[in-house]
Structure 1
Amino acid sequence: MSYDNYKAFERSMLDPQFDVRNSLELLAQTHPDSLYETIKNVMHTANIDSDVDRVQLTERMFEVVSLRHQEQRVAKPLYLRLLLAYGPVLNPDQLKKLMGEEEGVFKFDVADLNQSFEGMYMHPALAISLNARHSVNGESVGYICKRLWGWYALEDHLARQVGRCENPAVVGALLEHEPFALMARNFTLQRAVLEDPRVLAHVITHKAYKTSDAFRVLSAGIRTPDPALFQAALDAVSGWSRDESTYYMQHASAQVMCVLLNKDFRSATGVTKERVAIADAIFSEIGNGARKGREQHLSPVGMSR
Protein backbone atom coordinates (compact mmCIF):
# COMPACT_ATOMS: atom_id res chain seq x y z
CA MET A 1 0.00 0.00 0.00
CA SER A 2 1.36 3.40 -0.95
CA TYR A 3 1.61 6.17 1.61
CA ASP A 4 -1.25 8.08 -0.05
CA ASN A 5 -3.48 5.02 0.03
CA TYR A 6 -2.57 4.38 3.66
CA LYS A 7 -3.48 7.96 4.64
CA ALA A 8 -6.76 7.58 2.75
CA PHE A 9 -7.49 4.41 4.74
CA GLU A 10 -6.59 6.15 8.00
CA ARG A 11 -8.87 9.09 7.19
CA SER A 12 -11.71 6.72 6.32
CA MET A 13 -11.37 5.00 9.70
CA LEU A 14 -11.48 8.32 11.56
CA ASP A 15 -14.18 9.92 9.42
CA PRO A 16 -17.33 10.85 11.41
CA GLN A 17 -19.29 9.50 8.44
CA PHE A 18 -17.58 6.12 8.63
CA ASP A 19 -18.33 3.82 5.68
CA VAL A 20 -17.18 0.26 6.31
CA ARG A 21 -17.33 -0.67 2.63
CA ASN A 22 -15.14 2.27 1.62
CA SER A 23 -12.58 1.42 4.31
CA LEU A 24 -12.58 -2.22 3.21
CA GLU A 25 -11.91 -1.26 -0.41
CA LEU A 26 -8.95 0.87 0.70
CA LEU A 27 -7.64 -1.90 2.95
CA ALA A 28 -7.92 -4.37 0.06
CA GLN A 29 -4.97 -2.58 -1.54
CA THR A 30 -2.76 -3.86 1.28
CA HIS A 31 -0.78 -7.06 0.76
CA PRO A 32 -2.03 -9.75 3.18
CA ASP A 33 1.42 -9.94 4.80
CA SER A 34 1.22 -6.23 5.67
CA LEU A 35 -2.36 -6.25 6.94
CA TYR A 36 -1.51 -6.33 10.63
CA GLU A 37 1.09 -3.55 10.39
CA THR A 38 -1.34 -1.36 8.45
CA ILE A 39 -4.07 -1.85 11.05
CA LYS A 40 -1.62 -1.40 13.93
CA ASN A 41 -0.44 1.92 12.52
CA VAL A 42 -4.00 3.20 12.28
CA MET A 43 -4.80 2.00 15.81
CA HIS A 44 -1.69 3.78 17.05
CA THR A 45 -3.35 7.10 16.27
CA ALA A 46 -5.45 6.56 19.39
CA ASN A 47 -2.22 6.56 21.43
CA ILE A 48 -0.92 9.83 20.05
CA ASP A 49 -4.17 11.74 19.50
CA SER A 50 -6.33 12.19 22.59
CA ASP A 51 -9.27 13.27 20.44
CA VAL A 52 -9.55 9.80 18.92
CA ASP A 53 -12.09 7.52 20.60
CA ARG A 54 -10.16 4.28 21.10
CA VAL A 55 -13.23 2.13 21.64
CA GLN A 56 -14.99 3.51 18.57
CA LEU A 57 -11.88 3.07 16.43
CA THR A 58 -11.52 -0.52 17.66
CA GLU A 59 -15.16 -1.24 16.84
CA ARG A 60 -14.68 0.13 13.33
CA MET A 61 -11.49 -1.84 12.84
CA PHE A 62 -13.18 -5.12 13.72
CA GLU A 63 -16.15 -4.23 11.54
CA VAL A 64 -13.83 -3.82 8.56
CA VAL A 65 -11.78 -6.94 9.36
CA SER A 66 -14.90 -9.03 9.96
CA LEU A 67 -16.34 -8.00 6.61
CA ARG A 68 -13.05 -8.86 4.93
CA HIS A 69 -13.02 -12.21 6.75
CA GLN A 70 -16.52 -13.03 5.49
CA GLU A 71 -15.57 -12.21 1.92
CA GLN A 72 -11.94 -13.26 1.69
CA ARG A 73 -11.00 -15.11 4.91
CA VAL A 74 -8.43 -13.51 7.17
CA ALA A 75 -5.60 -15.82 8.21
CA LYS A 76 -6.14 -17.43 11.61
CA PRO A 77 -2.92 -16.11 13.23
CA LEU A 78 -3.76 -12.58 12.09
CA TYR A 79 -7.32 -12.68 13.42
CA LEU A 80 -6.13 -14.08 16.75
CA ARG A 81 -3.46 -11.42 16.93
CA LEU A 82 -6.04 -8.67 16.41
CA LEU A 83 -8.44 -10.19 18.95
CA LEU A 84 -5.76 -10.45 21.62
CA ALA A 85 -4.18 -7.07 20.91
CA TYR A 86 -7.35 -4.99 20.63
CA GLY A 87 -10.24 -7.16 21.83
CA PRO A 88 -9.80 -6.26 25.53
CA VAL A 89 -10.85 -2.67 24.73
CA LEU A 90 -14.32 -3.86 23.71
CA ASN A 91 -17.07 -5.06 26.02
CA PRO A 92 -17.89 -8.78 26.35
CA ASP A 93 -21.05 -8.52 24.21
CA GLN A 94 -19.06 -7.07 21.34
CA LEU A 95 -16.47 -9.82 21.71
CA LYS A 96 -19.18 -12.48 21.57
CA LYS A 97 -20.15 -11.18 18.14
CA LEU A 98 -16.56 -11.66 17.04
CA MET A 99 -15.55 -14.91 18.73
CA GLY A 100 -18.66 -16.40 20.36
CA GLU A 101 -19.20 -20.12 19.92
CA GLU A 102 -22.51 -19.67 18.08
CA GLU A 103 -22.68 -16.16 16.64
CA GLY A 104 -18.98 -15.35 16.34
CA VAL A 105 -17.60 -14.19 12.99
CA PHE A 106 -14.32 -15.96 13.66
CA LYS A 107 -14.81 -19.71 14.09
CA PHE A 108 -12.07 -21.72 15.76
CA ASP A 109 -11.52 -24.87 17.76
CA VAL A 110 -9.16 -24.96 20.74
CA ALA A 111 -7.82 -28.39 19.78
CA ASP A 112 -7.07 -27.00 16.33
CA LEU A 113 -5.27 -24.03 17.88
CA ASN A 114 -3.06 -26.35 19.90
CA GLN A 115 -2.19 -28.27 16.76
CA SER A 116 -1.65 -25.15 14.64
CA PHE A 117 0.45 -23.34 17.24
CA GLU A 118 2.17 -26.33 18.84
CA GLY A 119 5.50 -25.29 20.31
CA MET A 120 4.98 -21.67 19.27
CA TYR A 121 4.59 -20.14 22.72
CA MET A 122 6.22 -16.89 21.57
CA HIS A 123 4.15 -16.61 18.41
CA PRO A 124 3.29 -12.98 17.55
CA ALA A 125 -0.40 -13.90 17.70
CA LEU A 126 0.06 -13.92 21.47
CA ALA A 127 0.05 -10.17 21.79
CA ILE A 128 -2.41 -9.71 24.65
CA SER A 129 -1.11 -7.18 27.15
CA LEU A 130 -2.50 -7.07 30.68
CA ASN A 131 -0.60 -3.85 31.32
CA ALA A 132 -1.64 -1.87 28.26
CA ARG A 133 -1.11 1.87 28.54
CA HIS A 134 -4.72 2.45 27.57
CA SER A 135 -7.65 1.25 29.63
CA VAL A 136 -8.91 -2.25 28.99
CA ASN A 137 -12.14 -3.93 30.00
CA GLY A 138 -11.35 -6.47 32.71
CA GLU A 139 -14.47 -8.51 31.96
CA SER A 140 -13.41 -8.73 28.33
CA VAL A 141 -9.99 -10.09 29.27
CA GLY A 142 -11.80 -12.65 31.40
CA TYR A 143 -14.08 -13.55 28.48
CA ILE A 144 -11.12 -14.04 26.15
CA CYS A 145 -9.47 -16.25 28.77
CA LYS A 146 -12.60 -18.40 29.12
CA ARG A 147 -13.28 -18.57 25.39
CA LEU A 148 -9.73 -19.61 24.50
CA TRP A 149 -9.10 -21.72 27.60
CA GLY A 150 -7.41 -24.95 26.66
CA TRP A 151 -5.10 -23.24 24.18
CA TYR A 152 -1.90 -24.09 26.03
CA ALA A 153 0.14 -21.32 24.45
CA LEU A 154 -2.28 -18.66 25.70
CA GLU A 155 -2.51 -20.21 29.16
CA ASP A 156 1.27 -20.09 29.44
CA HIS A 157 1.31 -16.52 28.11
CA LEU A 158 -1.25 -15.31 30.65
CA ALA A 159 0.52 -17.14 33.46
CA ARG A 160 3.73 -15.27 32.73
CA GLN A 161 1.95 -11.91 32.56
CA VAL A 162 -0.52 -11.95 35.44
CA GLY A 163 2.16 -11.57 38.11
CA ARG A 164 3.25 -8.29 36.50
CA CYS A 165 -0.27 -6.99 35.92
CA GLU A 166 -1.07 -3.76 37.77
CA ASN A 167 -4.80 -3.72 36.98
CA PRO A 168 -6.92 -5.31 39.75
CA ALA A 169 -10.00 -5.45 37.49
CA VAL A 170 -8.11 -7.55 34.93
CA VAL A 171 -6.61 -9.93 37.50
CA GLY A 172 -9.98 -10.26 39.24
CA ALA A 173 -11.70 -11.13 35.97
CA LEU A 174 -9.06 -13.74 35.16
CA LEU A 175 -9.31 -15.32 38.62
CA GLU A 176 -13.09 -15.58 38.22
CA HIS A 177 -12.37 -18.32 35.71
CA GLU A 178 -11.83 -21.19 38.13
CA PRO A 179 -9.39 -23.23 35.99
CA PHE A 180 -7.19 -20.15 35.70
CA ALA A 181 -7.44 -19.46 39.44
CA LEU A 182 -6.37 -23.03 40.20
CA MET A 183 -3.46 -22.70 37.81
CA ALA A 184 -2.57 -19.38 39.47
CA ARG A 185 -1.64 -20.94 42.80
CA ASN A 186 2.04 -20.26 42.27
CA PHE A 187 1.71 -16.67 41.08
CA THR A 188 3.04 -13.71 43.01
CA LEU A 189 0.72 -10.77 42.44
CA GLN A 190 1.50 -7.08 42.71
CA ARG A 191 0.81 -5.78 46.23
CA ALA A 192 -1.70 -3.15 45.07
CA VAL A 193 -3.52 -5.82 43.05
CA LEU A 194 -3.54 -8.34 45.89
CA GLU A 195 -5.04 -5.76 48.25
CA ASP A 196 -8.03 -5.26 45.94
CA PRO A 197 -10.99 -6.93 47.73
CA ARG A 198 -12.17 -8.79 44.64
CA VAL A 199 -8.72 -10.24 43.94
CA LEU A 200 -8.06 -11.06 47.59
CA ALA A 201 -11.36 -12.94 47.82
CA HIS A 202 -10.41 -15.10 44.82
CA VAL A 203 -6.92 -15.75 46.18
CA ILE A 204 -8.38 -16.92 49.48
CA THR A 205 -11.01 -19.10 47.82
CA HIS A 206 -8.58 -20.89 45.52
CA LYS A 207 -5.46 -20.65 47.67
CA ALA A 208 -4.12 -19.04 44.52
CA TYR A 209 -0.85 -18.03 46.08
CA LYS A 210 2.55 -19.29 47.10
CA THR A 211 2.36 -20.57 50.67
CA SER A 212 5.83 -19.11 51.24
CA ASP A 213 4.34 -15.67 50.51
CA ALA A 214 1.32 -16.19 52.74
CA PHE A 215 2.17 -13.14 54.84
CA ARG A 216 1.34 -10.87 51.90
CA VAL A 217 -2.15 -12.39 51.81
CA LEU A 218 -2.52 -11.85 55.56
CA SER A 219 -1.18 -8.31 55.24
CA ALA A 220 -3.71 -7.54 52.50
CA GLY A 221 -6.46 -8.96 54.71
CA ILE A 222 -5.43 -6.76 57.62
CA ARG A 223 -5.55 -3.68 55.40
CA THR A 224 -8.91 -4.43 53.77
CA PRO A 225 -11.84 -2.32 54.98
CA ASP A 226 -14.11 -5.38 54.94
CA PRO A 227 -14.14 -7.16 58.36
CA ALA A 228 -15.48 -10.38 56.84
CA LEU A 229 -12.70 -10.44 54.25
CA PHE A 230 -10.11 -9.86 56.99
CA GLN A 231 -11.49 -12.82 58.90
CA ALA A 232 -11.50 -14.96 55.76
CA ALA A 233 -7.88 -14.04 55.04
CA LEU A 234 -6.86 -14.80 58.62
CA ASP A 235 -8.69 -18.14 58.58
CA ALA A 236 -7.12 -19.08 55.24
CA VAL A 237 -3.53 -18.17 56.12
CA SER A 238 -3.67 -19.66 59.61
CA GLY A 239 -5.13 -22.79 58.01
CA TRP A 240 -2.14 -22.95 55.68
CA SER A 241 0.18 -22.93 58.71
CA ARG A 242 -1.83 -25.66 60.44
CA ASP A 243 -1.76 -27.75 57.25
CA GLU A 244 2.04 -27.88 57.15
CA SER A 245 3.19 -31.51 57.04
CA THR A 246 5.35 -31.50 60.19
CA TYR A 247 5.27 -29.89 63.64
CA TYR A 248 8.56 -28.25 62.80
CA MET A 249 7.12 -26.58 59.68
CA GLN A 250 3.96 -25.54 61.51
CA HIS A 251 6.02 -23.92 64.25
CA ALA A 252 8.39 -22.25 61.79
CA SER A 253 5.63 -20.80 59.59
CA ALA A 254 3.68 -19.48 62.58
CA GLN A 255 6.82 -17.97 64.08
CA VAL A 256 7.63 -16.19 60.82
CA MET A 257 4.12 -14.72 60.77
CA CYS A 258 4.49 -13.35 64.30
CA VAL A 259 7.86 -11.78 63.49
CA LEU A 260 6.59 -10.15 60.29
CA LEU A 261 3.40 -8.90 61.94
CA ASN A 262 5.33 -7.12 64.67
CA LYS A 263 7.84 -5.76 62.16
CA ASP A 264 5.55 -4.50 59.40
CA PHE A 265 2.75 -3.24 61.64
CA ARG A 266 4.74 -1.93 64.60
CA SER A 267 3.28 1.57 64.07
CA ALA A 268 -0.29 0.37 63.53
CA THR A 269 -3.15 2.14 65.26
CA GLY A 270 -6.89 1.74 65.66
CA VAL A 271 -8.59 -1.13 63.85
CA THR A 272 -5.36 -2.21 62.17
CA LYS A 273 -3.64 -2.59 65.56
CA GLU A 274 -6.56 -4.65 66.85
CA ARG A 275 -6.40 -6.95 63.83
CA VAL A 276 -2.65 -7.40 64.21
CA ALA A 277 -3.15 -8.39 67.85
CA ILE A 278 -5.80 -10.95 66.86
CA ALA A 279 -3.57 -12.44 64.16
CA ASP A 280 -0.52 -12.47 66.43
CA ALA A 281 -2.47 -14.35 69.11
CA ILE A 282 -3.65 -16.99 66.63
CA PHE A 283 -0.21 -17.62 65.16
CA SER A 284 1.35 -17.69 68.62
CA GLU A 285 -1.19 -20.37 69.54
CA ILE A 286 -0.34 -22.36 66.40
CA GLY A 287 3.38 -22.07 67.10
CA ASN A 288 3.07 -23.09 70.75
CA GLY A 289 0.80 -26.00 69.86
CA ALA A 290 3.24 -27.22 67.22
CA ARG A 291 6.19 -26.91 69.62
CA LYS A 292 4.38 -28.95 72.28
CA GLY A 293 3.31 -31.52 69.71
CA ARG A 294 6.90 -31.86 68.55
CA GLU A 295 8.15 -32.29 72.10
CA GLN A 296 5.53 -34.94 72.85
CA HIS A 297 6.37 -36.74 69.63
CA LEU A 298 10.09 -36.79 70.37
CA SER A 299 10.05 -37.37 74.15
CA PRO A 300 9.36 -41.14 74.03
CA VAL A 301 12.70 -41.65 72.35
CA GLY A 302 14.58 -39.26 74.58
CA MET A 303 14.84 -36.45 72.05
CA SER A 304 12.69 -33.77 73.63
CA ARG A 305 15.70 -31.77 74.78
Structure 2
Amino acid sequence: MGSNSCLNFAITHHCVYLSPSFSPKSKLHNPNPNHNQFLLSRSSFIPIATSSFALHSNHTLSHPRSKKLPLRNAPNFYVAASAKAEPLKVMISGAPASGKGTQCELITQKYGLVHIAAGDLLRVEVAAASENGKRAKEYMEKGELVPDEIVVMMVKERLLQPDSQEKGWLLDGYPRSSSQAAALEDFGIHPDIFILLEVPEDNLVERVVGRRLDPLTGKIYHLKYSPPESEEIASRLTQRFDDTEERVKLRLHTHHQNVEAVLSTYKDITVKVNGNVAKENVFAQIDAALTELLEQREVNSGSLTA
Protein backbone atom coordinates (compact mmCIF):
# COMPACT_ATOMS: atom_id res chain seq x y z
CA MET A 1 0.00 0.00 0.00
CA GLY A 2 1.40 3.41 -0.93
CA SER A 3 2.02 6.13 1.60
CA ASN A 4 -0.68 8.32 0.07
CA SER A 5 -3.36 5.67 -0.19
CA CYS A 6 -6.53 5.65 1.92
CA LEU A 7 -6.39 4.08 5.38
CA ASN A 8 -7.86 0.66 5.88
CA PHE A 9 -9.45 0.27 9.25
CA ALA A 10 -11.37 -2.30 11.29
CA ILE A 11 -13.39 -1.76 14.41
CA THR A 12 -13.66 -4.43 17.08
CA HIS A 13 -15.46 -3.61 20.35
CA HIS A 14 -13.42 -0.78 21.90
CA CYS A 15 -10.51 -0.70 19.46
CA VAL A 16 -9.97 0.90 16.08
CA TYR A 17 -7.02 -0.37 14.03
CA LEU A 18 -5.29 1.41 11.16
CA SER A 19 -3.00 -0.82 9.15
CA PRO A 20 -0.93 1.01 6.52
CA SER A 21 2.78 0.41 6.14
CA PHE A 22 5.21 1.41 8.87
CA SER A 23 7.97 3.95 8.59
CA PRO A 24 10.53 4.67 11.34
CA LYS A 25 10.18 8.36 10.55
CA SER A 26 6.45 8.38 11.24
CA LYS A 27 5.12 10.81 13.81
CA LEU A 28 1.68 11.17 15.35
CA HIS A 29 0.26 14.57 16.19
CA ASN A 30 -1.03 14.29 19.75
CA PRO A 31 -4.40 16.06 20.18
CA ASN A 32 -4.08 15.72 23.94
CA PRO A 33 -0.64 15.90 25.63
CA ASN A 34 -1.95 13.82 28.55
CA HIS A 35 -2.51 10.79 26.35
CA ASN A 36 0.25 8.18 26.24
CA GLN A 37 1.67 7.37 22.82
CA PHE A 38 4.46 5.05 21.79
CA LEU A 39 6.03 4.60 18.35
CA LEU A 40 6.86 0.91 18.01
CA SER A 41 7.94 -1.65 15.42
CA ARG A 42 6.04 -2.84 12.33
CA SER A 43 4.32 -5.60 14.32
CA SER A 44 3.43 -3.33 17.25
CA PHE A 45 0.99 -0.46 17.65
CA ILE A 46 0.53 3.04 19.02
CA PRO A 47 -2.09 3.02 21.80
CA ILE A 48 -4.08 6.21 22.28
CA ALA A 49 -5.81 6.44 25.68
CA THR A 50 -8.99 8.09 24.46
CA SER A 51 -12.53 7.29 23.38
CA SER A 52 -15.14 7.89 20.68
CA PHE A 53 -12.66 8.74 17.94
CA ALA A 54 -13.70 8.79 14.29
CA LEU A 55 -11.31 7.88 11.49
CA HIS A 56 -11.34 9.43 8.04
CA SER A 57 -9.62 8.54 4.80
CA ASN A 58 -8.21 12.07 4.59
CA HIS A 59 -5.77 11.12 7.36
CA THR A 60 -7.48 12.89 10.24
CA LEU A 61 -8.38 11.63 13.68
CA SER A 62 -11.28 13.47 15.23
CA HIS A 63 -13.24 13.51 18.46
CA PRO A 64 -16.92 14.51 18.47
CA ARG A 65 -16.17 17.47 20.76
CA SER A 66 -13.04 18.68 18.99
CA LYS A 67 -11.95 19.94 15.61
CA LYS A 68 -10.32 17.56 13.14
CA LEU A 69 -6.62 17.33 13.79
CA PRO A 70 -4.18 16.35 11.03
CA LEU A 71 -2.03 13.27 11.42
CA ARG A 72 1.49 13.84 10.23
CA ASN A 73 2.68 11.09 7.88
CA ALA A 74 -0.59 9.34 8.68
CA PRO A 75 -0.24 6.35 6.30
CA ASN A 76 2.93 5.15 8.01
CA PHE A 77 1.72 3.96 11.42
CA TYR A 78 -0.50 1.48 13.21
CA VAL A 79 -2.99 2.85 15.76
CA ALA A 80 -5.27 1.38 18.40
CA ALA A 81 -7.77 3.63 20.21
CA SER A 82 -9.63 2.24 23.19
CA ALA A 83 -12.16 3.50 25.74
CA LYS A 84 -11.94 2.60 29.41
CA ALA A 85 -15.08 0.94 30.72
CA GLU A 86 -17.19 2.91 33.17
CA PRO A 87 -16.98 1.53 36.74
CA LEU A 88 -20.04 -0.04 38.33
CA LYS A 89 -22.34 2.05 40.53
CA VAL A 90 -24.44 -0.17 42.79
CA MET A 91 -27.02 0.49 45.50
CA ILE A 92 -28.17 -2.30 47.83
CA SER A 93 -31.03 -2.33 50.31
CA GLY A 94 -32.29 -4.90 52.75
CA ALA A 95 -34.17 -5.12 56.03
CA PRO A 96 -32.40 -5.71 59.35
CA ALA A 97 -30.98 -9.28 59.38
CA SER A 98 -31.53 -9.69 55.63
CA GLY A 99 -27.86 -10.60 55.18
CA LYS A 100 -26.97 -7.33 53.48
CA GLY A 101 -23.65 -6.98 55.30
CA THR A 102 -22.50 -10.42 54.16
CA GLN A 103 -23.49 -9.74 50.55
CA CYS A 104 -21.70 -6.39 50.57
CA GLU A 105 -18.49 -8.19 51.58
CA LEU A 106 -18.88 -10.73 48.77
CA ILE A 107 -19.65 -8.05 46.17
CA THR A 108 -16.65 -5.90 47.08
CA GLN A 109 -14.36 -8.93 47.14
CA LYS A 110 -15.26 -9.93 43.58
CA TYR A 111 -15.84 -6.59 41.91
CA GLY A 112 -13.43 -4.36 43.85
CA LEU A 113 -16.04 -1.66 44.48
CA VAL A 114 -15.67 0.94 47.22
CA HIS A 115 -18.12 -0.02 49.99
CA ILE A 116 -19.90 3.02 51.43
CA ALA A 117 -22.37 2.80 54.33
CA ALA A 118 -24.00 6.06 55.41
CA GLY A 119 -23.94 5.14 59.11
CA ASP A 120 -20.22 4.32 59.04
CA LEU A 121 -19.55 7.44 57.02
CA LEU A 122 -21.38 9.58 59.57
CA ARG A 123 -19.27 8.18 62.43
CA VAL A 124 -16.05 8.74 60.48
CA GLU A 125 -16.96 12.35 59.68
CA VAL A 126 -17.82 13.07 63.32
CA ALA A 127 -14.57 11.49 64.54
CA ALA A 128 -12.58 13.48 61.97
CA ALA A 129 -14.30 16.71 63.08
CA SER A 130 -14.99 17.68 59.47
CA GLU A 131 -17.39 20.52 58.74
CA ASN A 132 -20.23 18.09 58.05
CA GLY A 133 -19.17 16.00 61.05
CA LYS A 134 -19.35 18.98 63.40
CA ARG A 135 -22.82 19.87 62.17
CA ALA A 136 -23.98 16.27 62.55
CA LYS A 137 -22.56 16.01 66.07
CA GLU A 138 -24.66 18.94 67.24
CA TYR A 139 -27.83 17.04 66.37
CA MET A 140 -26.55 13.72 67.72
CA GLU A 141 -25.66 15.24 71.09
CA LYS A 142 -29.22 16.52 71.38
CA GLY A 143 -30.57 13.08 70.59
CA GLU A 144 -32.03 14.32 67.31
CA LEU A 145 -31.84 12.77 63.84
CA VAL A 146 -29.17 14.23 61.59
CA PRO A 147 -30.97 16.20 58.81
CA ASP A 148 -31.02 14.67 55.35
CA GLU A 149 -29.10 17.52 53.76
CA ILE A 150 -26.07 16.88 56.00
CA VAL A 151 -25.99 13.11 55.37
CA VAL A 152 -26.61 13.59 51.64
CA MET A 153 -23.63 15.94 51.42
CA MET A 154 -21.43 13.40 53.21
CA VAL A 155 -22.52 10.63 50.86
CA LYS A 156 -22.13 12.82 47.77
CA GLU A 157 -18.62 13.89 48.72
CA ARG A 158 -17.59 10.27 49.40
CA LEU A 159 -19.02 9.05 46.09
CA LEU A 160 -17.05 11.72 44.24
CA GLN A 161 -13.72 10.78 45.82
CA PRO A 162 -11.09 9.52 43.32
CA ASP A 163 -11.19 5.89 44.53
CA SER A 164 -14.98 5.71 44.13
CA GLN A 165 -14.81 7.29 40.69
CA GLU A 166 -12.03 4.96 39.54
CA LYS A 167 -13.14 1.64 41.08
CA GLY A 168 -16.90 2.16 41.23
CA TRP A 169 -18.99 2.11 44.38
CA LEU A 170 -21.42 0.04 46.42
CA LEU A 171 -23.77 2.27 48.43
CA ASP A 172 -25.10 0.25 51.36
CA GLY A 173 -28.56 0.99 52.80
CA TYR A 174 -28.84 4.47 51.34
CA PRO A 175 -30.93 6.33 50.28
CA ARG A 176 -33.69 5.51 52.76
CA SER A 177 -36.33 7.96 51.62
CA SER A 178 -37.62 9.48 48.40
CA SER A 179 -36.21 12.87 49.42
CA GLN A 180 -32.72 11.40 49.88
CA ALA A 181 -32.97 9.65 46.50
CA ALA A 182 -34.14 12.87 44.85
CA ALA A 183 -31.24 14.80 46.41
CA LEU A 184 -28.71 12.33 44.98
CA GLU A 185 -30.38 12.56 41.57
CA ASP A 186 -30.12 16.36 41.75
CA PHE A 187 -26.36 15.97 42.28
CA GLY A 188 -26.17 13.77 39.18
CA ILE A 189 -25.56 10.61 41.20
CA HIS A 190 -27.44 7.67 39.71
CA PRO A 191 -26.76 3.94 40.16
CA ASP A 192 -26.54 1.37 37.39
CA ILE A 193 -28.53 -1.11 39.48
CA PHE A 194 -30.57 -1.12 42.71
CA ILE A 195 -30.43 -4.49 44.50
CA LEU A 196 -33.20 -5.31 46.97
CA LEU A 197 -32.81 -8.31 49.29
CA GLU A 198 -36.18 -9.86 50.12
CA VAL A 199 -36.73 -12.09 53.17
CA PRO A 200 -40.14 -12.98 54.71
CA GLU A 201 -40.86 -10.97 57.86
CA ASP A 202 -41.22 -14.05 60.09
CA ASN A 203 -37.74 -15.19 59.10
CA LEU A 204 -36.31 -11.74 59.73
CA VAL A 205 -37.85 -11.64 63.21
CA GLU A 206 -36.40 -15.07 64.00
CA ARG A 207 -32.96 -14.02 62.76
CA VAL A 208 -32.94 -10.85 64.85
CA VAL A 209 -34.43 -12.20 68.07
CA GLY A 210 -31.97 -15.09 68.10
CA ARG A 211 -28.88 -12.90 67.72
CA ARG A 212 -26.41 -12.68 70.57
CA LEU A 213 -23.22 -10.66 71.06
CA ASP A 214 -20.02 -11.83 72.72
CA PRO A 215 -18.90 -8.67 74.56
CA LEU A 216 -15.38 -10.08 74.91
CA THR A 217 -14.66 -10.67 71.21
CA GLY A 218 -17.40 -8.66 69.51
CA LYS A 219 -18.48 -11.75 67.55
CA ILE A 220 -22.17 -12.17 66.68
CA TYR A 221 -23.81 -15.56 67.27
CA HIS A 222 -27.27 -16.91 66.63
CA LEU A 223 -28.84 -19.34 69.06
CA LYS A 224 -30.20 -21.47 66.21
CA TYR A 225 -28.09 -20.85 63.11
CA SER A 226 -24.61 -20.20 64.56
CA PRO A 227 -24.55 -21.16 68.26
CA PRO A 228 -21.51 -20.48 70.48
CA GLU A 229 -18.70 -23.02 70.50
CA SER A 230 -18.71 -23.60 74.26
CA GLU A 231 -20.73 -23.16 77.43
CA GLU A 232 -18.19 -20.60 78.61
CA ILE A 233 -18.92 -18.36 75.60
CA ALA A 234 -22.67 -18.99 75.85
CA SER A 235 -22.69 -17.81 79.48
CA ARG A 236 -21.38 -14.35 78.61
CA LEU A 237 -23.48 -13.64 75.50
CA THR A 238 -25.76 -10.61 75.58
CA GLN A 239 -28.74 -9.45 73.52
CA ARG A 240 -29.01 -5.97 72.05
CA PHE A 241 -31.81 -3.96 73.63
CA ASP A 242 -33.53 -3.45 70.26
CA ASP A 243 -33.30 -7.11 69.18
CA THR A 244 -36.62 -7.94 70.77
CA GLU A 245 -39.60 -9.08 68.70
CA GLU A 246 -41.61 -5.91 69.41
CA ARG A 247 -38.81 -3.57 68.46
CA VAL A 248 -37.73 -5.48 65.37
CA LYS A 249 -41.28 -5.44 64.00
CA LEU A 250 -41.33 -1.66 64.35
CA ARG A 251 -37.97 -1.40 62.56
CA LEU A 252 -39.22 -3.65 59.78
CA HIS A 253 -42.36 -1.57 59.33
CA THR A 254 -40.24 1.57 58.97
CA HIS A 255 -37.90 -0.19 56.55
CA HIS A 256 -40.73 -1.37 54.29
CA GLN A 257 -42.21 2.13 54.15
CA ASN A 258 -38.83 3.64 53.25
CA VAL A 259 -38.06 1.05 50.59
CA GLU A 260 -41.38 1.55 48.83
CA ALA A 261 -40.68 5.28 48.61
CA VAL A 262 -37.13 4.76 47.25
CA LEU A 263 -38.21 2.14 44.70
CA SER A 264 -40.30 4.75 42.92
CA THR A 265 -37.05 6.47 41.94
CA TYR A 266 -35.16 3.33 40.90
CA LYS A 267 -37.99 1.08 39.68
CA ASP A 268 -36.49 0.71 36.18
CA ILE A 269 -33.16 -0.60 37.49
CA THR A 270 -34.32 -2.59 40.53
CA VAL A 271 -33.36 -6.25 40.86
CA LYS A 272 -35.16 -8.16 43.62
CA VAL A 273 -33.12 -10.99 45.14
CA ASN A 274 -34.40 -13.89 47.23
CA GLY A 275 -32.47 -13.49 50.48
CA ASN A 276 -34.12 -16.44 52.20
CA VAL A 277 -31.55 -18.99 50.96
CA ALA A 278 -27.94 -19.82 51.75
CA LYS A 279 -25.59 -16.84 51.43
CA GLU A 280 -23.80 -18.50 48.48
CA ASN A 281 -27.09 -18.77 46.62
CA VAL A 282 -28.00 -15.18 47.44
CA PHE A 283 -24.67 -14.00 46.03
CA ALA A 284 -25.12 -16.17 42.93
CA GLN A 285 -28.28 -14.18 42.12
CA ILE A 286 -26.51 -10.86 42.65
CA ASP A 287 -23.46 -11.99 40.71
CA ALA A 288 -25.65 -13.05 37.77
CA ALA A 289 -27.36 -9.63 37.70
CA LEU A 290 -24.05 -7.73 37.78
CA THR A 291 -22.53 -10.01 35.13
CA GLU A 292 -25.52 -9.47 32.86
CA LEU A 293 -25.20 -5.70 33.35
CA LEU A 294 -21.52 -5.75 32.37
CA GLU A 295 -22.18 -7.99 29.35
CA GLN A 296 -24.95 -5.68 28.15
CA ARG A 297 -22.53 -2.77 28.40
CA GLU A 298 -20.09 -4.66 26.20
CA VAL A 299 -22.79 -5.28 23.61
CA ASN A 300 -23.91 -1.64 23.64
CA SER A 301 -20.34 -0.39 23.46
CA GLY A 302 -19.61 -2.67 20.52
CA SER A 303 -22.72 -1.46 18.71
CA LEU A 304 -21.76 2.19 19.19
CA THR A 305 -18.20 1.57 18.01
CA ALA A 306 -19.36 -0.31 14.94
**TM-score higher than 0.5:** no
Higher helix share: 1
- What TM-score results when the alignment is normalised by the length of structure 1? 0.23
Higher strand share: 2
Greater RCO (Cα-Cα under 8 Å, separation 6 or more):
2
